[in-house]
Chain A
């Protein structure tokens, strides 16, 4: 890849890099400058949506913070299935976040900025070329790298995430040599084996279960059993984030949460069995966020009486098996008739596509990023299920970075700091204009190797 770099016409490299993980639910963005080492710690997290509340007021991106009343809120999301589809909406959100005169972090000058944009695996060619065209023709970024999102995670200090005992002086080898990355986000969940920070494309697998499906499923369950919450995606999403967990023993938990046959009084059901929780719904006057509290049978009885008299001050839901049967879909999608492998089998399917010699290394480095990784018990359950499937000789380690939501972004920021590597990966605006979109697409597809 040396010859292209020696182009004499190349202007001075841009002063800063905008690292952007454009997720379907939130976009993670931040500027990385070469001289300031602290900038790659925390990105800004902005909802990637245009929302309209019950009063028909419209919020774009970060303006959603000003929203006080989330009841009956409706969202328009530019990203579908992980890919930017509606550029009309995406442009509006980006404009207000980055390019306006009153943008939160000051206006960005694209002609002096490098862009690292994380994209999902297995995109459609037309969406990729749309993206390239928007970046160069509309915004005019000085240079641009459309990176495979999962592979950016290889630039973490992965062994620190796994707490591998080692000499503290050792410098982490970057990118990580072998990594099995699971990205479980809003639209779907993907498994990507990475070798030297490059994805093994033939072994990438996707499960169409993500945070959105889980939220919708929880909304459906609650609508069947309690109140109609189908028009309250925001409230249900908060409820899911606060109250749901991944069960380590699904059968036992289900048994505990069962009401029993007619006339039967089951101890676990009456006391809650450690599973039942009460969720106090927000009313957006006195309470803007829902609260989870332990189930208390006496209190529940009193509340019910008050509700009958119409004097209740709060709306309370009792969550029982909803708490764990919702995230269970990640492991058993067939429970709702979605005929796909569960997450552990997905890992197995992916492993079957790589040589056996790589299995021990990949299995010892299973890293989970994405919002669903925040469910309690997710990591333990995944580890337990993978151990059951793979050969006994393989050590299985599953871990997640401290903040799995920003995992991809932090990796991208670390990559952006490695100047020489970036120079080989990025495409400049001049190159785009000279060689055209197809050349750019090919270059990104082959991982920056010159064609």
Chain B
């Protein structure tokens, strides 16, 4: 799906069908503009293309994907329209000098018009540049909170690819060229440069355990977790019965806990929740676009879900204005 960040836009051409009909819902609609050209039967084409009931980004047609992405972007905005509210003039008697001197750093920060998305792109670009040079990924710039040792870096990379931003795609190109062309020497050079830059920023393995030291002095075991000191339940004659005994998972050792506490923070994209096997267990729920009940049937023209005839009628009014009779 990663066409170097190029996003397919829905074509303006739609096939019109007279009237309406209930269509068995077997998967995402309107793959017809990709496959349907050589096949007369659009339903069959769609069904064979979908391959199964599971619905994922890859199965959705480009048009739907674009629609969903656009809708999510709209939902994520602070204001429905683009507004720019300038900083109002300072009130009188605020006790501050309007033209106060700022240090250069502060001036730079105050004048920055970057949004979070800009910062994220910048940072991804920076990280990408660093990680190709030293493949071990020992340190990422600044806090060293990089994708070392974390199994989520792959997911993060996928997410980055998914986001398909321009800056990202450019960076791909930029970072790949020296490796493929220059071979070992240039890579080595770059690595040296990189280590020079990074040297200042490297994090030493933090010395953990200060939190636990206060609680230390429990039973010979853990210095991080304190032993239980509360009241115990009254003994029961069948406490030793192997059928009734409760299984308690073994406590992690101190080393494990220390490693866990010392782990660097995940990066912004790594911490993002994924779409795991547990979520795929159930099919995606679909709702009537008109009233919000289950989307039991689809409009055969545009694939919009509706619940029943009343809502279909309402939808048709809109559908006709958009797609014609």
Contact = CB atoms under 8 A, between A and B. Distances in A.
Interface of A: 1, 50-52, 58, 60, 74-77, 80-81, 83, 85-89, 91-92, 95-96, 99-102, 107, 121-130, 133-134, 137-138, 166, 173, 177-178, 190, 195-202, 204-208, 212-213, 216-217, 219-221, 224-225, 230-231, 233, 254, 257-262, 320-322, 325, 332, 334-342, 345-346, 348-349, 354-360, 389, 393, 424, 438, 441-442, 445-451
Contacts of A359: 249
Given A77-B78, A205-B273, A206-B271, A336 B71 contact: yes
Given A220-B75, A231-B81, A451-B204, A441 B291 contact: no
A448 to B, nearest CB: 8
15 contacts: A50-B85, A74-B83, A75-B78, A85-B116, A101-B95, A102-B94, A122-B265, A196-B215, A196-B261, A254-B293, A259-B310, A345-B273, A354-B260, A442-B203, A445-B265
Given A92-B87, A122-B271, A360 B249 contact: yes
B291 A258 contact: yes
Sorted nearest first, the 4 A-B pairs with minimum C-beta distance are: A101-B95, A125-B142, A446-B206, A337-B68
B123 interface: yes
A126 B226 CA distance: 37
Given A225-B291, A233-B79, A195 B261 contact: yes
Nearest to B211: A196
Interface in B238-285: 246-252, 256-257, 260-268, 270-276, 278-279, 284-285
Nearest to A87: B109
A52 B84 CA distance: 10
Given A177-B225, A261-B309, A254 B260 contact: no
Given A201-B264, A224-B290, A438-B200, 14 more contacts: A101-B96, A121-B265, A137-B105, A138-B102, A195-B225, A195-B257, A196-B212, A198-B261, A221-B292, A339-B57, A357-B249, A389-B278, A445-B145, A449-B207
Contacts of A205: 271-273
Contact of B266 (A80, A129, A204, A325): A204
Contact of A74 (B85, B123, B201, B273): B85
A204 B265 contact: yes
A221 B284 CA distance: 20
A340 B275 contact: yes
A103 B227 CA distance: 49
Interface residues of B, number: 100
Contacts of A213: 75-76
B144 interface: yes
Nearest to A2: B210
Contacts of A1: 210
A335 B307 CA distance: 15
Nearest to A446: B206
B96 A339 contact: no
A100 B94 contact: yes
Contact of B77 (A102, A216, A389): A216
Given A230-B80, A345-B279, A451 B206 contact: yes
Contact of B75 (A50, A217, A355): A217
B39 to A, nearest CB: 28
B251 A357 contact: yes
Nearest to A202: B263
Contacts of A128: 142-143
B6 interface: no
B233 interface: no
Interface string B278-314: 1100001101011111100000000000011110000
Interface in B130-154: 141-145, 150
A111 B115 CA distance: 30
B211 to A, nearest CB: 4
Nearest to A56: B85
B7 interface: no
A262 B56 CA distance: 33
Q: Say whether chain A's binding surface is mostly helix, strand, loop, or mixed.
A: mixed
Contacts of A233: 78-80
A253 to B, nearest CB: 11
Nearest to B283: A334
Contacts of A354: 260
Contacts of A258: 291, 293, 307
A60 B292 contact: no
Contacts of B267: 122
Contacts of A322: 292
A177 B93 CA distance: 49
B234 interface: no
B274 A85 contact: no
Contacts of B287: 325, 335
Contacts of B68: 336-337
A85 B211 contact: no
Contacts of A100: 91, 94-96
Nearest to B307: A258
A438 B150 CA distance: 23
Contacts of A360: 248-249
A333 B314 CA distance: 26
Contacts of A177: 225-226
A107 B96 CA distance: 11
Given A335-B285, A337-B72, A447 B248 contact: no
A60 B122 CA distance: 30
Contact of B250 (A75, A134, A357): A357
B105 A133 contact: yes
Given A101-B93, A216-B77, A355-B252, A336 B290 contact: no
Contacts of A389: 278
A363 to B, nearest CB: 12
A101 B278 contact: no
B17 interface: no
Nearest to A178: B225
A212 to B, nearest CB: 7
Given A75-B79, A121-B265, A121-B271, A338 B276 contact: no
B203 A445 contact: yes
B236 interface: no
Nearest to A437: B105
Contact of B275 (A50, A178, A206, A341): A341
B312 to A, nearest CB: 9
B103 A137 contact: yes
A88 B94 contact: no
